[in-house]
């Protein structure tokens, strides 16, 4: 068993002022070279988890306790300078909305060369590296892109720029926070292909955040399912899709539109809405919406139990899929 690239232990994220729980004591690992998908609805805490790795939590939200171990140090406890040196360099992140994630009044070339500058790359190397970075991600006319502004490009192109920016220092881990959600389906596919290709070439690990279970099917090796601030299931992509053990995951899969044209089954939505994480800290978060819930589900948080298929936080795992 190789050593994990990054290890999150008992991470707890709360609002700074009134200590409301947003992410409730989660733990997971990402190994070198592997791609992990984090799937969950909005409010599940998946984005906050991703942001906390790089110390980018928004104002009013803090990581109250836990460890994020990377390269023999706990990122939550190290200095800001240490975290800064890792950002964009060893661990990079790309974001959901390419419209707003790029500085609107700064030339794209400069936005990339800044990354090099921040990590002590020699100035004369910069123009060439930026040019190559643009080429790598498939931006046509890279020399024009160098002096262009974000608003001159389409959403898909902007996302490519962001990817170029994230990969220019050849990071070991790429965190992607729903980067294709705001794009057209065809562009989505292009971006997914681009990222997969880059991964293949460099062997970097990836943490891909999404609300769409379907997206991760051909993209990642393992899947983490989050719900209301907790991890409810972890498993390989194959196992999650064929034998999900947690009722929520099962429900998610059932609600995916099937590509089988002949299928006449109606799309199943799970009735109800996800609760706020701080309201379900001491029970199974999914119990109100679960068809299999019993008394203990409402009074205790189920621990992650590993069986032959996946690890699921449930007192009543589903077992083999019929």
Partner 1 sequence: MRLARTSGIAARLLSVLVTLFGISVFIFIVLRVIPGDTITGSLGIETGVLTPEQIDDLKRYYGIDKPLILQYFSWITSFLSGDLGFAYSTGVSVLTLTASALPVTIELALFGTISGVIMGIAIGMFSAKKPGSTRDFLGQLFGLLALAIPGFVLSTAIVTIMANKFGYFPNGYEYMTPWEDIWMNLQQMLFPSIVLGIAVAAPVMRTTRSALLETVDKDFIRTAFGKGLNSRIVQFRHVLRNSMIPIVTMTGIQFGYLLGGAVIVEKIFALPGMGRQILDAINKREYATVQSSVMIFAILFVTINLVTDLIYRRIDPRIK
Can you give the binding site for partner 1, defined by CB under 8 A? 54, 56, 58-59, 84-89, 92-93, 95, 97, 100-106, 114-115, 118-119, 149, 151, 162, 165
Q: In sequence order, which residues have a C-beta less than 8 Å from that of residue 110 and are 6 or more positions away?
A: none
Task: Specify the pairing of strand 230-236 against strand 222-227.
Answer: antiparallel
Nearer to partner 1, 166 or 228 (CB): 166
- The residue whose two tokens read 């099917």 is 217
Task: Pick between residue 103 and residue 294 the one whose CB is nearest to partner 1.
Answer: 103
| Nearest approach, Cβ of residue 234 and partner 1 (Å) | 26
Residue 114 or 281 having the CB closest to partner 1? 114
Q: What is the CA radius of gyration of the chain?
A: 20
Least distance in angstroms from the C-beta of 296 to partner 1: 41
Q: Which is nearer to partner 1, 104 or 257 (CB)?
A: 104
In the bound state with partner 1, the residue whose beta carbon lies nearer, of 95 and 241, is 95
Element (H, E) at 206: strand 205-210
As measured in angstroms, the least distance from the Cβ of 92 to partner 1 is: 7
Residue closer to partner 1, measured from CB, 156 or 244: 156
Distance (Å, whole) CA 121 – CA 116: 5
Closest distance to partner 1 from the beta carbon of 161 (Å) = 11
Tell me how far, at minimum, the Cβ of 167 lies from partner 1, in Å.
12
How far is Cα 274 from Cα 270, in angstroms, rounded to an integer? 10
Positive/negative CA dihedral, 267, 235, 275, 210: negative
* Beta-ladder partners of 222: 36, 236
The residue (of 110 and 276) whose beta carbon lies closer to partner 1 is: 110
The least distance separating partner 1 from the CB of residue 129, rounded to whole angstroms, comes to 14
Residues 127, 138: Cα–Cα separation, whole Å: 17
**Minimum distance of partner 1 from residue 174's CB (angstroms):** 12
Q: How would you classify the pairing of strands 222-227 and 311-313?
A: unpaired
**CB under 8 Å to 215, separation ≥6 — which residues?**
37, 180, 188, 192, 208
Give the number of residues written for the chain.
Answer: 322
Structure-block tokens of residue 319: 């077992």
């Amino acid at each position: 068993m190789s050593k994990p690239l990054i290890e999150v232990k008992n991470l707890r994220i709360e609002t700074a002022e009134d200590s409301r729980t947003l992410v409730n004591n989660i733990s997971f690992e990402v190994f070198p070279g592997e791609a992990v998908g984090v799937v969950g609805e909005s409010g599940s805490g998946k984005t906050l988890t991703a942001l906390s790795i790089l110390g980018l939590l928004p104002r009013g939200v803090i990581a109250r306790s836990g460890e994020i171990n990377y390269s023999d140090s706990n990122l939550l406890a190290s200095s800001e300078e240490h975290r800064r040196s890792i950002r964009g360099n060893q661990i990079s992140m790309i974001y959901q909305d390419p419209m707003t994630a790029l500085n609107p009044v700064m030339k794209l070339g400069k936005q990339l060369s800044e990354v090099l500058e921040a990590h002590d790359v020699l100035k004369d190397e910069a123009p060439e590296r930026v040019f190559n970075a643009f080429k790598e991600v498939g931006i046509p006319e890279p020399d024009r892109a160098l002096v262009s502004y974000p608003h001159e490009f389409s959403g898909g192109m902007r996302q490519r720029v962001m990817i170029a920016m994230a990969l220019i220092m050849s990071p070991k881990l790429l965190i992607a926070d729903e980067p294709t959600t705001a794009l057209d389906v065809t562009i989505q596919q292009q971006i997914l292909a681009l990222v997969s290709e880059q991964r293949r070439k460099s062997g970097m690990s990836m943490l891909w955040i999404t609300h769409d279970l379907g997206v991760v099917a051909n993209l990642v090796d393992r899947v983490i399912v989050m719900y209301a601030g907790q991890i409810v299931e972890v498993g390989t992509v194959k196992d999650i899709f064929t034998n999900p053990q947690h009722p929520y995951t099962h429900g998610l899969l059932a609600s995916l539109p099937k590509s089988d044209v002949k299928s006449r089954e109606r799309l199943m939505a799970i009735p109800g809405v996800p609760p706020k994480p701080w309201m379900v800290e001491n029970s199974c978060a999914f119990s109100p919406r679960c068809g299999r819930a019993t008394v203990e589900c409402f009074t205790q948080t189920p621990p992650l139990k590993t069986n032959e298929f996946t690890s699921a936080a449930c007192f009543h795992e589903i077992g083999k899929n019929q």
